[in-house]
């Protein structure tokens, strides 16, 4: 039976943040129109900070043009000189990479580069359980035993002062390449290549660990290599493929130089993937030509990370370094099994952590501890931070020591917070969004109290989380032409997210629960219907009914099924149609004039009387 639309039970989970006006400068507008971009898309880009013609040229131009000079990195000249000396003397090197996907891809970049330069190079990936983050004493001992006089770290080392000093005492120099928080006291390394150093001149410090490794590789190949220009470009593409995966896996913003790296890497991944990536995609049933950053984030990265979470990350390193397709296929199968185990363990830990939170009001931060596998506490922390909208710390009990993993929310810098608790830790490190530590078990309560106070001091105002929209349009204006327009924003990711569109004036004709905790919808507009899928929103299957008039916040996608292609809405949130001032005014304007919405980024919240998304000439 149809439900009276006036009594619709659906309530939005988020506060919809509608776009506010943003205009590109005249030169940018002329440049964009000359290159076939619509005014709507140019306004959207302006709202994302792409305002001038140089910005737009960089955004749309060849990705190589967006790469900065690696000689601008801190200690770049020192690195070039020290590696040149190592090659001349015939020294043996060890590349030490962190055990996550960012560290593993960065390790592969530098091992490949150093070997290409004719340097005897071995590699080492620490055990997550036995050694943890940072340069390990075990690796230093191995380097000494094998007569390796120089260690190059990847995605780690900035906070490894004692271990670097121990290496120096054995006559081993250490070059640190990293992107994590820089402490007030720098490590005694030969060089510290970290774009976050206070004295850094590097134009874009947002690189991931693998991105820093790529820039060091560029530096070395330009300064010490002798490849012709064409071969150098081929090598850059192969290495950028690795850095793109590491960048996405580390959730680095896909803007600036990171976006250029992602574009270069995706081109290689789609057309000539290295054997390890080809094997992972084949095992997951993904055609390389269809790969995008979502493929990297949800197919490749979890499988690389699973090796270190469940077993030994060395398996993933061997996969990335493999030149043989058969060897890669065997290693990919091992990672597939590890990833399945990782999923099961994560569900268990999250459920147990949630249970530990029952029975009281949530503080400003979620902090839990338990006898959990070290390999999945970071995933559990990420899930808790997302679900509760506050920083989360999950600690694994390892005898008298707790090993913790932290994930943050917007506006709370974990690196700064942990430094404020630094006197409690055995060791710690990380960056604004993710960090980790080791702590004597007896100091847990002291840490928990101090961290909660820090989180409370930075807690945002109460209320539902905000959902930023890029466009607000009547349902009849959502079509393939719009989808093609928005494709110009790719590759998308953190910092340059998939555009979200408020699609206004839809009627529910079918709603049903789907496997995996999702909800499938069929939504009618004037002349036809749109299919919708709301991932991880099982609540909509019960709160919506046939006949409800709704507005949805969704990402546009194209899906193939049974040989047919159709437009699909990937729905993030649903509200009763016209229940917010902006959507009500937009519906009225559409009914009266059939005019469209404006594109921008924005600051206007639903319910604050904003008219930012209204078509020109229709403001009340």
How far apart CA 98 and CA 107 sit, in angstroms, is: 8
- What pLDDT, on the 0 to 100 scale, is given for residue 232? 65
For residue 618, the model assigns a pLDDT of 33
Please check whether residue 20 is in contact with residue 610, taking contact to mean a CB–CB distance below 8 angstroms.
yes
Other C-beta atoms lying within 10 Å of the C-beta of residue 138: 14
Is residue 115 helix, strand or coil? Answer: helix
Mean pLDDT check: name the lowest of 26-35, 114-123, 202-211, 352-361.
352-361
Report the C-alpha gap between 150 and 407 in whole angstroms: 33
**pLDDT tens digits for range 169-201:** 999 999 999 999 999 999 999 999 999 999 999
Q: Say how far apart CA 392 and CA 386 lie, in whole Å.
A: 9
Q: Give Cα separations from 197 to 73, 200, 384, 415 (angstroms).
A: 10, 5, 31, 14
CA distance 405 to 375: 10
Alpha-carbon gap, residue 345 to 337, rounded angstroms: 13
Report the topology of domain 70-234: inorganic pyrophosphatase (n-terminal core) (3.90.1640)
Residue 17's H or E segment, with its range, is strand 15-18
E strand map for 431-548: 434-440, 466-468, 471-474, 501-514, 518-524, 529-534
Q: Which residue has the higher pLDDT, 521 or 611?
A: 521
Query: Phi/psi of residue 422, each to 5°?
Result: -60, -30
Cis peptide before 206 (omega within 30 of 0): no
Summarize pLDDT for 87-112 with one digit per residue, the tens.
999 999 999 999 999 999 999 999 99
Separation of alpha carbons 410 and 460, rounded Å: 9
pLDDT at 615: 33
Residue identified by tokens 């709507």 is 40
Q: Average pLDDT in the 238-259 region?
A: 96
DSSP 259-282: HHHHHHHHHHHHHS--HHHHHHHH
**Gap between the Cα atoms of 373 and 390, Å rounded:** 23
Place of tokens 């071995």: 122
Q: What is the mean pLDDT of the segment spanning 520-549?
A: 94
Predicted pLDDT at 229: 59
| For residue 599, pLDDT beyond 80 | no
Q: What are phi and psi of 493, to 5 degrees?
A: 175, -165
Domain edges within the chain: 5-19+469-605, 70-234, 357-457
Cβ–Cβ < 8 Å for 206, 258: yes
Cβ partners under 8 Å of residue 52, min gap 6: 24, 25, 27, 28
Q: Could you tell me the two tokens for 586?
A: 């937009």
What would the two tokens of residue 504 be?
A: 């206004």
What confidence tier does 462 reach under pLDDT thresholds 50, 70, 90? low
Give Cα 100 to chain centroid, integer Å: 13
C-alpha pair distances (Å), 328 with each of 59, 210, 325, 516: 35, 21, 5, 30
Pick the CATH number of 357-457 from 3.30.390.30, 3.30.365.10, 3.10.310.30, 3.30.70.120: 3.10.310.30
Give pLDDT, residue 461: 54
DSSP 8-state assignment for residue 297: I
pLDDT at residue number 52: 73
CA distance 322 to 316: 10
Under the banding of pLDDT at 50, 70 and 90, the label for residue 593 is low
Q: Tell me the whole-structure pTM to 2 decimals.
A: 0.84
What percent of the residues of the chain are helix, what percent strand, and what percent coil, each to the nearest 5? 45, 20, 35
Chain centroid offset of residue 263 CA: 15
Q: What percent of the chain has pLDDT over 90?
A: 72
Query: For residue 115, how many other CB atoms are within 10 A of its CB?
Result: 16
DSSP 8-state assignment for residue 393: E
- The predicted structure's pLDDT at residue 612: 33
| pLDDT tens per residue across span 139-168 | 999 999 999 999 999 999 999 999 999 999
Overall average pLDDT of the 543-563 stretch: 90
By C-alpha distance, which of 521, 535, 523, 530 is closest to 558? 530
Say if residue 383's pLDDT is above 80.
Answer: yes
C-alpha torsion sign, points 473, 477, 483, 488: negative
pLDDT-based confidence at 585, cuts 50/70/90? confident
The pLDDT score that the predictor gives to residue 430 is: 86
The pairing of beta strand 191-193 with beta strand 173-177: parallel
- Cα angle: 296, vertex 299, 304; to 5 degrees: 85
Pick the CATH number of 5-19+469-605 from 3.90.1150.10, 2.40.50.140, 2.130.10.30, 2.160.10.10: 2.40.50.140
More confident residue, 189 or 356: 189
Q: Alpha-carbon distance 301 to 316, whole Å?
A: 10
For residue 442, what pLDDT band results from cuts at 50, 70 and 90? very high
Q: Report percent pLDDT > 70 for the chain.
A: 92
Residue 260: Cβ within 10 Å count: 24
Q: Count Cβ atoms below 10 Å from residue 30 Cβ, excluding itself.
A: 13
How far is residue 558's CA from residue 565's CA, in Å, rounded to a whole number?
7
- pLDDT tens digits, one per residue of 251-296: 999 999 999 999 999 999 999 999 999 999 999 999 999 999 999 9
Mean pLDDT of 569-590: 90
Residues forming beta bridges with residue 550, ordered by sequence position: 506, 576
């Amino acid at each position: 039976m149809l439900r009276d639309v006036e009594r619709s039970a659906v309530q939005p989970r988020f506060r919809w943040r509608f776009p506010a006006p943003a205009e590109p400068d005249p030169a940018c507008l002329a440049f964009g129109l000359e290159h076939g971009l619509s005014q709507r898309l140019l306004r959207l880009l302006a709202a994302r900070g792409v305002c001038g013609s140089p910005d737009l040229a960089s955004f749309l131009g060849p990705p190589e043009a967006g790469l900065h000079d690696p000689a601008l990195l801190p200690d770049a000249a020192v690195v070039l000189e020290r590696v040149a000396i190592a090659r001349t003397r015939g020294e043996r090197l060890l590349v030490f990479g962190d055990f996550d996907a960012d560290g593993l891809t960065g390790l592969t970049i530098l091992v490949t580069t150093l070997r290409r330069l004719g340097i005897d190079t071995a590699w080492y990936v620490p055990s997550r359980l036995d050694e943890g983050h940072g340069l390990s004493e075990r690796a230093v001992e191995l380097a000494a035993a094998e007569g390796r006089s120089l260690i190059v770290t990847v995605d780690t080392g900035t906070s490894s002062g004692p271990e670097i000093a121990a290496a120096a005492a054995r006559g081993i120099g250490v070059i640190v390449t990293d992107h994590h928080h820089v402490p007030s006291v720098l490590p005694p390394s030969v060089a510290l290549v970290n774009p976050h150093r206070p004295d850094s001149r590097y134009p874009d410090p947002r690189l991931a660990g693998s991105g820093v490794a790529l820039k060091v590789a560029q530096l070395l190949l330009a300064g010490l290599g002798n490849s012709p220009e064409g071969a150098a470009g081929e090598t850059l593409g192969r290495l950028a493929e690795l850095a793109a995966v590491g960048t996405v896996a580390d959730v680095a913003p896909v803007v600036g130089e990171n976006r250029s790296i992602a574009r270069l890497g995706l081109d290689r991944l789609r057309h000539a993937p290295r054997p390890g990536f080809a094997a992972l995609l084949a095992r997951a049933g993904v055609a390389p030509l269809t790969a995008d950053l979502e493929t990297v984030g949800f197919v490749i990265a979890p499988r690389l990370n699973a090796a270190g979470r469940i077993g030994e990350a060395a398996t993933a390193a061997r996969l990335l370094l493999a030149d043989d397709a058969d060897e890669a296929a065997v290693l990919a199968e091992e990672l597939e099994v590890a990833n399945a185990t990782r999923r099961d363990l994560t569900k268990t830990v999250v459920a147990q952590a949630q249970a530990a939170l029952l029975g009281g009001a949530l503080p400003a931060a979620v902090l839990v501890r338990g006898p959990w596998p070290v390999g999945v506490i970071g995933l559990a922390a990420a899930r808790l931070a997302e679900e509760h909208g506050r920083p989360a710390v999950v600690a694994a009990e390892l005898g008298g020591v707790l090993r913790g993993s932290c994930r943050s929310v917007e506006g709370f810098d974990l690196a700064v917070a942990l430094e404020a608790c630094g006197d409690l830790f055995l060791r710690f490190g990380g960056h604004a969004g993710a960090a980790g530590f080791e702590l004597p078990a007896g100091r847990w309560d002291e840490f928990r109290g101090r961290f909660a106070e820090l989180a409370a001091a930075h807690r945002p105002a109460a209320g539902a989380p905000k959902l930023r929209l890029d466009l607000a349009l009547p349902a009849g204006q959502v079509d393939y032409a719009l989808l093609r327009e928005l494709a110009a924003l790719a590759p998308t990711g953190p910092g340059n997210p998939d555009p979200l569109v408020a699609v206004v004036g839809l009627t529910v004709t079918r709603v049903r629960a789907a496997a995996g905790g999702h909800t499938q919808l069929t939504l009618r507009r004037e002349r036809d219907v749109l299919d919708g899928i709301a991932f991880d929103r099982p609540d909509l299957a019960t709160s919506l009914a046939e006949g409800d008039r709704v507005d949805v916040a969704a990402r546009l996608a194209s899906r193939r099924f049974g040989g047919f292609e159709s437009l699909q809405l990937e729905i993030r949130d649903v509200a009763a149609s016209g229940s917010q001032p902006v959507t009500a005014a937009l519906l009225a304007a559409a009914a009266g004039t059939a005019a469209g919405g404006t594109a921008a980024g924005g600051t206007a919240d639903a319910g604050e009387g904003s008219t930012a998304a209204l078509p020109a000439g229709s403001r009340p």
